[in-house]
Amino acid sequence: MPKNKPPAATPKKAAPAAAARNTDSGPARVDPSALDDLPARRAADVQALAAAMPENPNKAAEHGFDNGVNPPQGASVSPPSRLPGGSTLTEEHGTEKTGSAAIDGLNATIEPLDRVRVDATGRRLTTNQGVPIADNQNSLKFGTRGPVLLEDFILREKLTHFDHERIPERIVHARGSAAHGFFECYEPLTDITRAAPFREAGKRTPVFVRFSTVQGERGSKDTARDVRGFAVKFYTDEGNWDLVGNNMPVFFIQDAMKFPDLVHAVKPEPHHGMPQAGSAHDTFWDFVSLMPESTHMLMWAMSDRAIPRSYATMQGFGVHTFRLVNDAGESVFVKFHWLPVAGTHSLVWDEAVKISGADPDFHRRDLWERIEAGNFPEYELALQVFTEEQADGFSFDILDATKLIPEELVPLRKVGRMVLDRNPDNFFAETEQVAYCTAHVVPGIDFSNDPLLAGRIHSYVDTQISRLGGPNFHEIPINSPIAPVHNNQRDGMHRQAIHRGRVSYEPNSLAGGCPFQAGAAQGFVSVPARLHAQDEQAKVRAKPEKFADHYTQATLFFESQSPVEKDHIANAFRFELSKVTVPAIRERMVASLRNASEELAQKVAMGLGMDPVPAPLTPALPNPAEPEVKKSPALSLLARPGDGSIRGRKIALLVAPGVEGESIARIQLALAEQGAVGRLVGPRIGPMKSTSGDPLDADASLENEPGFLFDGLVLPDGDEAVAALAQDGHTMEFIKDQFRHCKTILALGASRQLLAKAGLPAGPQKSQATGETGLLSADAAEIETAIPAFIAALAKHRHFDRETDPPRV
């Protein structure tokens, strides 16, 4: 039987106490004297709080231009006690579930992710309601051979949850990989921005970065020829800032109105759902050949930029022109660049195609393994900062997302570094549920009038609402900021926050005006656009005239490439257009390319058997402005070799029974000291006896780890081992792929004969062949000099002087 509760204390003044116990009406005046009665005291404190704000003192400041760019801080008063802000007088009655009363000013939903991490070590299995499960092997049946019973709530919960474990995938950027890290500022940038990450030298801001392909579905391959997403979520102390960019600085279209058309065209054709994660099909090339503003982006997409070696070796760009705003409200334009410390390195096409079959998770695996091994990907953030006056003088329009600003016009300013040093605990909870939105900016960052950016500001938020089940996706732990969140948004699907009190509007007096607007000194204020008295009619569907120059920067990009890169661009156009089934589309595309580069158009036409070459398309702007820069070496991948290290690279060291083990072991150790991974690859996995008697344990085989998955190759010494490798057809394919893809190869002693058997031209038959071609050889006595030469050759990434089209090997 429950214990009898003691009678409530009789309040000294019955009238105020009685009035305070009603919720549907109240007295004309509140008596503040009944301090020993909690409801009455709350009524008195609420009255005092509301009375302290007899009017809205900021109402007049809502009008006029000057007030619009310098809003005041919202009016607020402090309550006389905690009582007015509470939802209930019973909040002090805590349990293990409810906890204690809310802490003043705290939104616990944005605490560190430790609050939601789960570790089941040493714990028993339960249902989602915490009920221990005695048997997780059998359904509840009517007899051992009888029907399964509907009352089996454990089975139903398990199956129901399983049936709903997937959420709608992203329309674009569906396949992604992500990592946690930090951004560290080099120096204060307070002269140009008040943004939190840039306020002081050495300041570190947590980040979560997601890399992705654009076209493919969630289960597609990593190494498709495609744009790569490069999205960074900064968890700043003034809110989340999402810099949602790509690994290319320009885009296919100029206006968000065309984005659905672009995506519909590049996605698998709707009648048969092909091709997956590829652009080599009729609808894509039909669309872009009719949209000449896409030509510059096509140059990038057909270049090696579209098949990066890894996420750690590709650039990132904000794409659009943004604004930086300082404390004085002064603004400048900015372009954002991420520069990989490891340099910009890409795959070659034949390599990418083969990798996609052997390991479709190649980039995802590389990112995970680099971080697990301590070879943390690192990038420097560089800015191109320029004024409106400078922008007005450029031959192109900085609001045009199909244009870039050559570094010769506005040099890069390195302002900080980003290090990715922690893998996610759970792919779905973090990588899949993270929601990036271009609209997420913080004070000090603002938008330009880029019409493509304007559409993204709307579209990203709108998409997340649908994909993540409602407007409260910001409360999913990976999306929640580290800055306090306080506003009057309530309810909706999957709401997590439990708000205290009855006020959910502003202005108010019942909560002392809280939460109050921050005002210009602390809050986000949009940069006021300049007013032009002589502007054209305001409402118009049109583009600025400079947007009509569709080819000048496409020419700039192509002419800035090395000869090898130019060949790769031509080969990519040849391959893609050869997959098009309608000749008229091919011809239209080549006709468009003639306006960008006659050299390129002729190469592509020849590769497609196109004779005669179609006449150039009529350009939208017959006489474009003379460009300031006609060749920009910085646009070549080869211009950014990186720090010269081989950290994170994977090198295959072939082994077989009878291998000369000492030299292999020394090379493996030397590679590890450089942060590279030297994998022992044999005809099978497992121990291989060596000439010294100590076995070498192969953890990969020639079958399960083909040669194209590695960045370099070492062929071993030892007559017995070489003979065994020569009898395995996988060995020859291994060597041929390494040679064809211009990788570094070191042949030790007797293994030189493997090079000859593989048909390599000019294979080194003498010791210490030059490392310039990436083909080296050495005898056992020369291993001390061979190792540093091999590592130096690996640092060059590839040796394109060996490349031929078509390949001879």
Q: Which residues are catalytically annotated?
A: 173, 246
Q: Report the alpha-carbon distance of residue 18 to residue 654 in Å, rounded.
A: 89
* CA 137, 143, 146, 148 torsion-angle sign: negative
Phi/psi of residue 224, nearest 5 degrees: -65, 150
Residue 295: which residues within 8 A CB-CB, separation 6 or more?
550, 551, 554, 592, 593, 595, 596
Long-range contacts of 692-701 (CB under 8 A, 24+ apart): 692/660, 692/661, 692/662, 694/661, 695/661, 696/655, 696/659, 696/661, 696/664, 696/665, 698/655, 700/652
Q: How many residues does the chain have?
A: 809
Residue 498: which residues within 8 A CB-CB, separation 6 or more?
none
Distance set, CA 794 to CA 651, 744, 767, 789 (Å)? 9, 6, 18, 9
Q: Are 225 and 419 in contact (CB under 8 A)?
A: no
Residue 450: which residues within 8 A CB-CB, separation 6 or more?
320, 321, 399, 400, 401
Among residues 642, 671, 653, 661, which one has the least CA distance to residue 791? Answer: 671
Could you list the beta-strand ranges (E) of 470-524.
Answer: none
Q: What is the 3-state secondary structure (H, E, C) of 232-266?
A: EEEEEECEEEEEEEECCCCCCCCCHHHHHHHHHHH
User: HSE of 583 in the Cβ direction (CA atoms, 13 Å)?
Assistant: 7
Cβ atoms within 10 Å of 190's Cβ, excluding its own: 14
141 residue type, one letter: K
- Residue 481 per-residue DSSP state: -
Q: Are 280 and 302 in contact (CB under 8 A)?
A: no
Q: Report the alpha-carbon distance of residue 684 to residue 655 in Å, rounded.
A: 9
Among residues 799, 803, 802, 27, which one has the least CA distance to residue 345? Answer: 799
Q: Where are the alpha helices (DSSP H) in 373-494?
A: 388-393, 451-467
Q: Report the alpha-carbon distance of residue 678 to residue 672 in Å, rounded.
A: 7
Q: Report the alpha-carbon distance of residue 755 to residue 490 in Å, rounded.
A: 70
Phi/psi of residue 560, nearest 5 degrees: -90, -5
Angle CA(393)–CA(396)–CA(401) in degrees, nearest 5? 130
Structure tokens at 460: 């990203």
Bridging pattern class, strands 686-688 and 712-715? unpaired
Maximum Cα–Cα distance for the chain, whole Å?
A: 108
End-to-end CA distance of the chain: 90
Q: Report the alpha-carbon distance of residue 308 to residue 314 in Å, rounded.
A: 6
